[in-house]
Structure 1
């Protein structure tokens, strides 16, 4: 049935141009997709010029939504693939994976789309809960699941209990609207496969959700409500909404709303005996359809209409054939569900192995790599440099200020070392107050790195941890030599470390 209006991404913590991204998101939520793309061009140019990377990411996400709604799926996929590189927060990474998975599903790339959904689900399981960003990601997962006709998963994804956070009226109305749209589409599909009673239940719950919001910001809620009312037989109320909204939706290019209203009008006219008018409305909806799944809905309604217009075997045969096709597609849901569950289990196992490996190779106090990693790296250290680091008089820090203060000092030092590492370098805590770094650098550059670390620790104001606290480091540096073993490299770095201590501490020695 539906491209959708995503809950807006939480963008207020972003850069100084976040208002631009919010404007672009609001346009796509209102269904003004052509305007969205124009506004996105302008907003991206501004955010790029000023280096506002986070806001730029949010703008491009709105572009993905607009392109998807317009049926320009290849362009939408290009944007999604560009955005799926993890950049954090985890809920946002999961949201983008789900959005891109939805595009893949709409393109018929079911396996790839379900893989994206599985990844999004696994990431969301590890993301902090209780924020608008998390809920927004859940609703993106809902939309993608809906495209795959995994309606149960989609409905579960939107079941966010009250009271998790301050859920503003803007988000609550969008949430109810999205759940209502899901249930309408679910009902339409159930009706197609002969489950009319269950379909009516879903139509009724959709109307209940939509009627909570009497003054919606955009026309989508009213268009959905018109369809729900038509399906449960409240024809006059449906016609009032159609008369108010249909022409403006057509004139402003709000194709999704116009399709819903044409469908609702066709249902009312068919139910009240105007079969010719119903055909006109169903055909108008079909002409505006951008996606194959939408056309199946309208063509099913046309096939049902044909059995009323032209009673006889031919029309019944056409309807039976179409129902057979729809029932086969419905059964494919089970395959998709199994594929998604398998992909999710595989990813969870991979995550568990990765987590176990990290736990086995990480220092519990500082999060740095541990002695096990050092033993592996020292064997293969054929280029670069080894820097050994000791905290000067660390026992006195523990004795004078407490072991809790000592632990805080070690964590602070670990943070500095981690920041100093490039992507192929590693910082390690041996235990106690002893650290090591494998640097991908020659002696001159390694000296500069070491001196920067030493200076940062020396000049830091440690009084915020404990009044009178002072921390310095002694360091020994050795660079690799051709044909030298890892043991020899370590011995030279260790000798330099002790030379720095003998020379008075708070210094680097490198021979």
Structure 2
């Protein structure tokens, strides 16, 4: 039966399902996102499209985070990290998922755990290819995680790198990244204002305004850009321009339940009204922004402006004392921000040390000729084999004759070719070993019937290989024995049974697989 072609996508063959999920959450329709994710995940599971399923799960996580359902978002993030470790994938994707998990953990107040994930994401991105959509997306996630930790310098650097990941003529992604960076600058400036660093705050507002006006002039159609610009105008006391943007946008954003843009527009309106001396109206706008806030960091920002406004409207000892108390709290939070920079450096150092230990351990358990695991790795793995797994033992037939007839150099090339075939037939959690000489082992995560099929594929690949390209007259075959682990069986007993089957294969004429007789 002929099938319709499916376009290839890095996000899976049915990527449109997941991209619809992401589009909804980007536009702020988070409840709709969850319904769309239900449908997308059900369909992709039936179709066996695991990549698109994971992308849809990521969109669900973003929606849950935006709705303040952080425990649920964290469970998805941890599941995605486990899937990525099990199934493998590009380094940038690893980093993105870790950065997304970091953001959720930091929002939950688990700062140390979150910064550890930030450090891991940074270490991965240090060695990832620095071009393309995956790198851009990972850097954007790292910037967002750094931003919620108020590590604004790191967030700004990550956004700069994400912008550099694309060709200068690629306005679609560059404008999206520039908009994210502008929002970062604005939030940074608001925090600097709170701790009395007005000149630095004004400089950032100026940068933000210039970037937003440039992209709006380029024709970018983004309510978020306009909402951010309204806040910039209000901070720069361009009151008429701020109020015009608010009047044009706020009713539509509230009607569409786009709460992020609405919060910013209420903030802009409150700042502009306060600058005009309309205290009560300004307080109403700040309260509206607080009511639309999901995260504590959002509420604190608007509550600060609300308290300043109340102090201006009702000057006196009580409001002055409340304002001073809030300022002390804000100063303490700023000091915590500085402490987090030290915590991140320490976390990054721990990640580097872990990587160094992993590298050293890998070198100690690797065969120098083939790059497979060595006898030390075999001894470690044989003691951990459990029911459901199998052990495949392999000997190269008449390998001594290959060395004697063609040279040890040719023999080494044969071993390297066999190692490459074994490696290509291993799943993520499976391991191929070279004992030394011409003896190999493969720890498979499947039962005996599937292990037989894997072994037969390996044997046929080696048999069909044109060995004449290495040396005319050369031929190579394999003898194999396989055994599946029984409940409660010690690893040494499993090895003995697989070795006995290998002996049967060699006695039976070689170039064959032997296993337990079928029941």
- Length-normalised TM-score, structure 2: 0.82
Other structure's SS at 2:17 match: helix
Which residue pairs with 1:159 in the alignment? 160
With 101-110 and 57-66 compared, the bigger mean Cα shift is at: 101-110
CA contact (8 A) 2:391 2:443 kept: yes
CA distance change for structure 1 residues 94 and 277 in 2, over 3 Å: closer, same or farther? Answer: same
1:280 equivalent in alignment to 2:284: yes
Residue of structure 2 aligned with 1:16, choices 13, 23, 32: 13
Alignment of 1:190-229 (within 5 A): 190-214=192-216, 215-229=219-233
Deviations 1:114-166 (A, max 9, x none): 23222322333343332221221111111111111111221122221766443
Q: How many residues in Structure 1 have an aligned counterpart in Structure 2?
A: 496
Distance 1:314 1:286, change over 3 A: same
Partners of 2:242 and 2:200 in 1: how far apart? Answer: 21
The Cα of 1:226 is off from its aligned counterpart by 1.1
Residue equivalent to 1:324:
328
8 Å Cα contact 1:398/1:406 also seen in 2:
no
Distance 1:222 1:366 in 2: 59
With over 3 angstroms needed to count, the CA separation of the structure-2 counterparts of 1:222 and 1:369, relative to structure 1, is same
Q: Partner of 1:67: helix, strand, or coil? A: helix
The partner residue of 2:64 within 56, 63, 67 is 67
Classify the secondary structure of the residue corresponding to 1:158: helix
CA distance in 1, matches of 2:319, 2:492: 86
Q: How does 1:292-331 map to 2 (within 5 A)?
A: 292-331=296-335
Structure 1's unaligned 5+ residue stretches are: 1-10
Residue 211 of structure 1 aligns to a residue in which SS?
A: helix
Corresponding residue number in structure 1 for 2:459: 454
CA–CA separation in structure 2 for the residues paired with 1:21 and 1:382: 36
Which residue does 2:96 correspond to in 1?
Answer: 95
Residues 431 and 163 of structure 1, relative CA distance in 2, 3 Å threshold = farther
- The Cα of 1:255 is off from its aligned counterpart by 0.8
Distance change (3 Å), C-alpha of 1:116 and 1:240: same
Distance in 1 (alpha carbons) for counterparts of 2:267 and 2:386: 70
Bigger shift: residues 157-166 or 96-105:
157-166
Q: Using a 3 Å threshold, how does the CA distance of structure 1 residues 399 and 329 change in structure 2: closer, same or farther?
A: farther
> Structure 2: any 5+ residue segments left out of the alignment?
1-7
- TM-score normalised by structure 1 residue count: 0.84
Cα RMSD over matched residues? Answer: 3.9
Match of 2:173 among 171, 174, 178: 171
Secondary structure of 1:311's aligned partner: coil
Instruction: Give the aligned partner of residue 256 of structure 2.
Output: 252
Q: Distance in 2 between matches of 1:34 and 1:111?
A: 30
| SS of equivalent residue, structure 1 residue 241 | helix
Question: How far apart are residue 195 of structure 1 and its match?
Answer: 1.0
Of 381-390 and 346-355, more deviation after overlay is shown by 381-390
Partner of 2:4: none
Q: CA deviation at 1:467?
A: 11
Per the alignment, residue 243 of structure 1 pairs with 247
Conserved 8 A contact 1:101-1:112: yes
Q: Higher RCO, 1 or 2 (CA under 8 Å, sep at least 6)?
A: 1
Name the CA distance, whole Å, in 2 between partners of 1:98 and 1:211. 30
Map of 1:3 onto structure 2: none
Q: 2:266 maps to which residue?
A: 262
Task: Measure, in 2, the Cα distance between the counterparts of 1:177 and 1:399.
Answer: 68
Change (3 A) 1:439 1:91: closer
Aligned counterparts of 1:346 and 1:406: Cα–Cα separation in 2: 42
Q: Does the 8 Å contact 1:392/1:506 carry over to 2?
A: no
Distance (Å, rounded) in 1 between the aligned partners of 2:144 and 2:375:
46
Q: CA contact under 8 A between 1:70 and 1:290: conserved in structure 2? A: yes
Tell me the distance in 2 between the aligned counterparts of 1:309 and 1:486.
81
CA shift for structure 1 position 197: 1.1
For 1:105-504, what aligned pairs fall within 5 Å after superposition?
105-160=106-161, 164-166=165-167, 168-214=170-216, 215-374=219-378, 387-390=393-396, 410-420=415-425, 426-430=431-435, 435-437=440-442, 450-460=455-465, 471-475=475-479, 477=481
| Stretch deviating more after TM superposition (318-327 or 97-106) | 97-106
Residue in structure 2 matched with residue 4 of structure 1 by the alignment = none
